[in-house]
Amino acid sequence: MEKTALITGASRGIGRAAALRLAREGWKVCINYIERKDKAEEVCSILKKEGTEAMCIQADVADKAQVEAMANAVREKLGPISLLVSNAGIAGQMQIQDVKEESWDRYFDVNVKGAYNAIQAVLPDMLHAHAGSIVTVSSMWGLRGASCESVYSATKAALIGLTRSLALELAPTGIRVNCVAPGVINTDMVQVLGQETLGKLAEMTPLGRLGTPEDVAAAISFFAGTEAGFITGQVLTADGGFIV
């Protein structure tokens, strides 16, 4: 099966770093984005200059029809999809009594249903090939509790349940499903916390720093590669030791 990867939420942050790394490892890459066409096109043009077959495509992962159309466009342009990195996600801090129903639904629609939509859209290619790899991006807060992030944490725990169950369901077909659970990674997502809090979080991280998108991309790349050929249903934390 040719190496064609679809990475959701890849115009910036962890998704962008994963796209750059996977491309340099020989993957054809589709960069999905929701808003920042300019940023997605920038990643795409870097990749094309490096000789990678790349494309970018707008789709809200929460919208099933948009995700299916995206997967069809990837197939048409880059060939059957052999790797899905389900990375798109949203985060925020709220006390549970302040969580509006619309927010609850949006978190689950993007973080959990987004993965379900993307997985269903790429599976026909992988089932046909009896091969393929799915990497979900959860969070250390999917493994531990996070005060004032109960909705986010619940979505990320759901992704871990999805990963493990799907790994068992798809193992007889040769498709592997694994999960990366990042710690505090210095991307746009955490800037809302402010520099002081980020400094404290770096201190609380045993390795003494915040993670980089590249740190997480390395874990994604490991699961994607043939060296992880006997590994499925696993959750790999890339958190500098935060939750050890």
Q: Binding residues for ligand NAD, per CB under 6 A?
A: 8-9, 11-15, 32, 34-35, 60-62, 87-91, 110, 114, 137, 139, 182, 184-185, 187-190
Q: How far is the CB of 79 from ligand NAD (least distance, A)?
A: 22
Structure tokens at 169: 């369901």
Beta bridge partners of 182: 238
Distance of CA 35 to the CA centre of its chain: 17
> Smaller CB distance to ligand NAD: residue 115 or 126?
115
Distance of CA 167 to the CA centre of its chain: 16
Residue for token pair 């970018």:
56
Q: How far is the CB of 33 from ligand NAD (least distance, A)?
A: 6
> Smaller CB distance to ligand NAD: residue 73 or 189?
189
Burial (0-12, 13-18, 19+ Cβ within 10 Å), 233: middle
Structure tokens at 54: 């790349």
Structure tokens at 216: 């997480």
Q: How far is the CB of 34 from ligand NAD (least distance, A)?
A: 4
> Smaller CB distance to ligand NAD: residue 70 or 175?
70
Choose the catalytic residue: 33, 107, 116, 152.
Answer: 152
Residue 107 is a catalytic residue: no
Neighbours of 168 (CB within 10 A): 11
What's the rounded Cα separation, in Å, for the pair 215 and 21? 11
Q: How far is the CB of 174 from ligand NAD (least distance, A)?
A: 26
Longest dimension (CA), the chain: 51
What's the rounded Cα separation, in Å, for the pair 125 and 134? 12
Structure tokens at 185: 């990674």
> Smaller CB distance to ligand NAD: residue 109 or 125?
109
Q: How far is the CB of 73 from ligand NAD (least distance, A)?
A: 15
What's the rounded Cα separation, in Å, for the pair 115 and 93? 22
> Smaller CB distance to ligand NAD: residue 100 or 230?
100
Catalytic residues: 152
